Amino acid sequence: MSKVTIYGDQRSNFVRSVELVCLQKQVDYQIGGEFQGRLIKWKSPEHFQLHPFGKMPILFDGDLVLAESLAICRYLAQQPQGAALIDADPKVQAVQDMWATLAAGDIDRLLIRRYLLEFVGMDGLVENPNLERMARRKPDAEQAVAVVERQLQQHDFIAGDEFCIADALLVPTLQYVTLLPAELAVIKQDSVIHDYIARVRGMAGFERVLA
Ligand SMILES: N[C@@H](CCC(=O)N[C@@H](CS)C(=O)NCC(=O)O)C(=O)O
């Protein structure tokens, strides 16, 4: 596989997820805004042609244009080289898929879209964050954290004892949430999530991505 391009911004949790998978699969990659030598302006009509909802990441691999983090991660994971990120046993694979879907869906929505982004976005702290709305949403965010914690009390990684796509989708999200100030925190100081993040950050090349 030759060098791929991840369309997006390195601060995006999902761009980081794709990077983690590239590292595990030894896929050479760059992050950028160009497609076929042309700069694709964020939210331009060209952007919407490449991603139906004008989001990031998008993967460019030769003539392949692929939107959606989970689809991108699965495509990369199917490359022959590097770590096996998809278990051969269909039952284990199904559980890995379930956690990957939860990580990119409900968990991201409750922790990032509906909670963290109320306080901090790509361009820094939100001016006058709606703290009342955050307080209303906090129990849902805490529920998502509890779901993750229950699983990590039994396993080193989210879908078992091996790192898989679901971990790549989950850890950048959780790491951002740990950075919230104490009054907005939803991950307690003694949570197993901190050990989990440290375990994943300790993997080859990951510390730079999860800076
Ligand atoms: N379902 C998409 C979600 C991607 C997503 O929400 N990306 C964010 C950045 S982390 C984005 O593009 N936000 C801009 C927007 O929603 O308009 C995926 O899994 O790739």
- Average pLDDT in the 58-86 region? 97
Q: Atom 7 (ligand 1): residue with closest C-alpha?
A: 56
Angle at CA of residue 31, ends 12 and 61, nearest 5°: 115
| Residues 65 and 168 grouped into a single domain | no
When divided into structural domains, the chain yields a total of 2
Q: In this structure, is residue 210 part of a structural domain?
A: no
| Residues 98 and 197 grouped into a single domain | yes
Backbone phi, then psi, for 5, in 5-degree steps?
-115, 135
Q: Atom 17 (ligand 1): residue with closest C-alpha?
A: 55
Q: Atom 1 (ligand 1): residue with closest C-alpha?
A: 68
Q: Is the pLDDT of residue 123 over 90?
A: no
Residue 34: domain span: 4-77
What tokens does 129 get? Answer: 């964050």
Whole-model pTM: value is 0.97
**Residue 4 in 3-state DSSP?**
strand
Confidence of residue 42 (pLDDT cuts 50, 70, 90): very high
**pLDDT tens sequence across 128-162:** 999 999 999 999 999 999 999 999 999 999 999 99
Cβ–ligand 1 distance for 108 under 6 Å, the answer no
Q: In this structure, is residue 83 part of a structural domain?
A: no
Backbone phi, then psi, for 67, in 5-degree steps?
-100, 165
- Average pLDDT in the 19-31 region? 98
Q: Is the pLDDT of residue 122 over 90?
A: no
- Average pLDDT in the 62-86 region? 97
CA of 86 to the centre of ligand 1 (A): 23
Q: CATH number, domain at 190?
A: 1.20.1050.10
The DSSP bridge partners found for residue 169 are: none
Q: Running DSSP on this structure, what letter comes out for residue 203?
A: S
